[in-house]
Amino acid sequence: MEAASKVIHAIYNDDDILMSAVKRVKAAKHHIEEIYCPFPVHGLDKAMGLAPTRLAITAFLYGCVGLTVAVVMMNFIMIKDWPQDIGGKPSFSYLENMPAFVPIMFELTVFFAAHLMVITFYLRSRMWPFKKAENPDPRTTDDHFLMEIAIHNNEADLTNLLKETGAVEINIVEKDEDAH
């Protein structure tokens, strides 16, 4: 971000109005810094033009890792290291005894895919315990929607535009830190 230390906060109280406001602001070619919502608004990411998430791709890759871990682990323990005869199970090769390993292969695939994906999500969205909350206005966690736009010597223009889009409140805020 450049040194634009002033931002404008437009507050809405309806998600439909917010959506149409986002479209207006995008059409007027202003860059939306951030939108704070109390709940997921369907289609907001598309309207804002956010890139699709790649979390599912990471989950697939983590699942492949989990499967590999399961196969390598059991091949070493049950087939290579100490191939005992346990109740007549054929421990001569991995393939011959594979059906017995499938439940573990499945579970480890799911385990790795799920947990590593969640951890990836936390890292990418910077969430952890004792993290300082980034709430510009506490009402956005309850029933208000807040759109944040940086000001570049166009305060009056922006204020007018946002008023027209149905904002119930417009605040100009000094950003003291260059947060997140």
Phi first, then psi, for residue 130 (nearest 5°) are 65, 10
Go through 64-102 and write b for each residue having 16 or more CB atoms within 10 A of its CB, e for each that does not.
eebbebbbeebbeebbeeeeeeeeeeebeebeebeeebe
Q: Which of 48, 100, 116, 170 binds another protein (CB under 8 A)?
A: 100
109 Rama class: left (phi>0) / alpha (psi -120 to 50) / beta: alpha
Taking the mean position of all CA atoms in its chain, how far away is CA 96? Answer: 42
Would you count residue 88 as binding another protein (CB under 8 A)? Answer: yes
- The rounded distance, in Å, linking the Cα atoms of 116 and 66 is 10
Tokens of 60: 């697939």
Nearest-approach distance from CB 178 to another protein, in angstroms: 36
Q: Measured from the CB atom, is 36 or 112 closer to another protein? A: 112
Closest CA to 160 of 44, 1, 24: 24
Would you count residue 60 as binding another protein (CB under 8 A)? Answer: yes
Nearest-approach distance from CB 70 to another protein, in angstroms: 16
Would you count residue 40 as binding another protein (CB under 8 A)? Answer: no
Nearest-approach distance from CB 99 to another protein, in angstroms: 5
Per CB under 8 A, the segment of 21-29, 94-102, 132-140, 143-151 that binds another protein is 94-102
Per CB under 8 A, the segment of 6-14, 95-103, 156-164, 171-179 that binds another protein is 95-103
Would you count residue 37 as binding another protein (CB under 8 A)? Answer: no
Would you count residue 56 as binding another protein (CB under 8 A)? Answer: yes
Which residue has 């956005």 as its token pair? 140
Site residues (vs another protein, CB under 8 A): 56, 60, 88, 99-100, 102
